[in-house]
Amino acid sequence: MKWLVTGGAGYIGAHIVRALNTAGHDVVVLDDLSTGLRRKVSEGVPFIQASILDTDAVTSALRTGLIDGVVHLAAKKSVEESVHNPHLYFEQNVLGMMSLLDAVKAAQIHHFVLSSSAAIYGSPDGQRVSEDTTPLPVNPYGQTKLAQEWLLADLVNSGYDLSWTALRYFNVAGAGADDLGDTGVFNLIPMVLRALDQGQAPQVFGDSYPTPDGTCVRDYIHVQDLADAHVAAVAHVESGSRSSVFNVGRGLGFSVLEVLDAVRAVLGRSFDHQIAPARAGDPASLVAAVGRIDTELRFSAHRDLTDMVASAWSAWQAFPPR
């Protein structure tokens, strides 16, 4: 089968493209390069520069590329930005998904893997969240990712034949190769590295959350493990599996201060941090229950927090973000 990866020039998408290629899948990348980088798409991988909001362009890509399935990552993904500009997030993430699904129907595509998010869970009670936890998103980003899952489910309920899986990512970090590092400014580890590069103390947003040290707790997963989860998900839907959702994490929580300590250990240097006001839309704790993906997809993450920080630092040194 041949897969179209939307957002395949982005941080996560580029890792997924390489993992799918390594596993023997043919891949075509579609990306508008609003945040992605053309250099992250390996030589020989067909590339189409287009927005998922352009239904005709996506339909043409699906038809002319003889595509069998879609892995959909193209979306806006900053919680903080979504709070300040919700209209943009509903336009890009929800209207974009509607446009993509119109193209999927027009091209008669019957396999779909969705990049979803743990943000759909909102602020649970501190326990590990399972796929059966009621989604209660507390920010527009999470709302738009939940709406994407609803759109897929509603498409199937309307009678369209679609085998689909949604992977609910927890916090993604690290790099699978130096040239695929995270060049964005929204994730914790690159935010810390950028502050240190600029001679500044990294900011910690809030220290009075109901967590052991007062800072937010998250489940961190290495981006290469996440890419491997997509390979398993693609095989799952290729086999004809019907609708399903899976958490993708490690089942372990680390606070912001614990991540800063991991950065200090990997870099071999001490540094201070500053406490800044808590950001709107940030839940106190999000940690995954990962039994379902282990049982049904035979997938489990095996890279730890040190691996994430060390690989992120290596990529940062090799390709410093500008």
The set of residues, in sequence order, having a beta carbon less than 8 Å from that of 142 and lying 6+ positions away, is 79, 117, 119, 120, 121, 122, 135, 281
In terms of Cα–Cα distance, which of 177, 188, 148, 243 is closest to 18? 177
Residue 242 CB coordination number (10 Å): 11
Backbone φ, ψ for residue 185 (5° rounding): -125, 15
- Is the separation of the CB atoms in 143 and 129 below 8 Å? no
- Which residue out of 11, 89, 121, 141 is catalytically annotated? 141
- The bridge status of strand 163-169 relative to strand 171-173 is unpaired
Look up 160 and say whether it is catalytic: no
Question: What's 121's DSSP letter?
Answer: G
In terms of Cα–Cα distance, which of 194, 311, 196, 212 is closest to 254? 212
Catalytic residue IDs: 141
